[in-house]
Chains A and B, each alone.
Chain A
């Protein structure tokens, strides 16, 4: 019989984020959403490199934090998730951009309220520190 034992690996990483993602995160801290220019249009989030050509992406552009759900999956909430009740992970096409942002959509735990094409807007955390989670989730645009 082999001996077994539990153990834990824990890393307190602090990642350096560079100017482009650093500005995007600083924007989230101010409850502002930024995208980035590419040859095919504006991308949000601001990827550093163009997913088609590989070229460095261009300048940052401020966006209205409103968009449309293009696809979603309903998941049970777990400890540590952004939302405390069941919610959707979704791709959200922010108005004025090509492609979509991956984030969560909170419809109050009622799956029936969730559908493709749903118009949503960003909900910001009251306390923000310059992190992707400053954008708390998206919720239905009234």
Chain B
């Protein structure tokens, strides 16, 4: 008996369709984005302000308070510069991905910082959101195109 030459690999495609349920808390924030509003909520237990806010404070486990609007600007808490190309990338590297602390909130939001040379981005840089046009507004963080420095001097 002669054995056939073994095959090395076999295709194993997997496809699964799901429903994403954003949840009550997250949905409040997402609906605000569709109106160009950054909505925060405060924990009545520890007074910390979340943006985006869950339905419950993850320190105190208490339901957070009603939503209120933040001014929108904030500062770069820390960041990195994505410097290499990879498949599916939206922007041409190098570009800055930053953790942004919105004024009035105790949490940090991860987003792009543009309209500034990457080497000029620093921790503490004051930034503001650049919103998409009316036709692109959505209940999604994509409603914020990116953040940019507030002062022209920073650019």
Q: Which residues of A are at the interface with B, using a C-beta cutoff of 8 A?
A: 1-19, 22-23, 25-27, 29-30, 32, 34, 60-62, 130-132
Contacts and interface: CB of A to CB of B under 8 A. Distances in A.
A97 B44 CA distance: 69
Nearest to A6: B19
Contacts of B4: 23, 26-27, 29-30, 32
B24 A13 contact: no
Given A4-B21, A7-B18, A15 B9 contact: yes
A6 B21 CA distance: 9
A25 B6 contact: yes
B10 A17 contact: yes
A21 B1 CA distance: 17
A141 B31 CA distance: 63
Contacts, number: 94
A3 B9 contact: no
Counting chain A CB atoms within 10 Å of each CB, the highest count among B1, B5, B6, B20 belongs to B6
B10 A9 contact: no
B31 to A, nearest CB: 7
Contact of B7 (A10, A12, A22, A60): A22
B10 A12 contact: no
Nearest to A13: B12
A25 B10 contact: yes
Given A2-B27, A3-B139, A23 B12 contact: no
Interface of B: 1, 3-24, 26-27, 30-31, 139
A1 B13 CA distance: 35
Contacts of A12: 11, 13
A100 to B, nearest CB: 22
B10 A15 contact: yes
B84 to A, nearest CB: 23
B9 A16 contact: yes
Contacts of B15: 8-11
B18 A6 contact: yes
20 contacts: A1-B27, A2-B26, A6-B19, A8-B15, A11-B14, A11-B15, A12-B11, A13-B11, A14-B12, A16-B8, A17-B7, A17-B10, A25-B7, A27-B3, A27-B4, A29-B7, A60-B3, A61-B1, A131-B10, A132-B10
B29 to A, nearest CB: 10
A15 B13 CA distance: 10
A43 to B, nearest CB: 17
Q: Which 6 A-B pairs have the closest CB atoms?
A: A22-B6, A130-B7, A26-B4, A13-B12, A3-B22, A23-B6
Contacts of A131: 10-11
A3 B27 contact: yes
B30 A3 contact: yes
Contacts of A11: 13-15
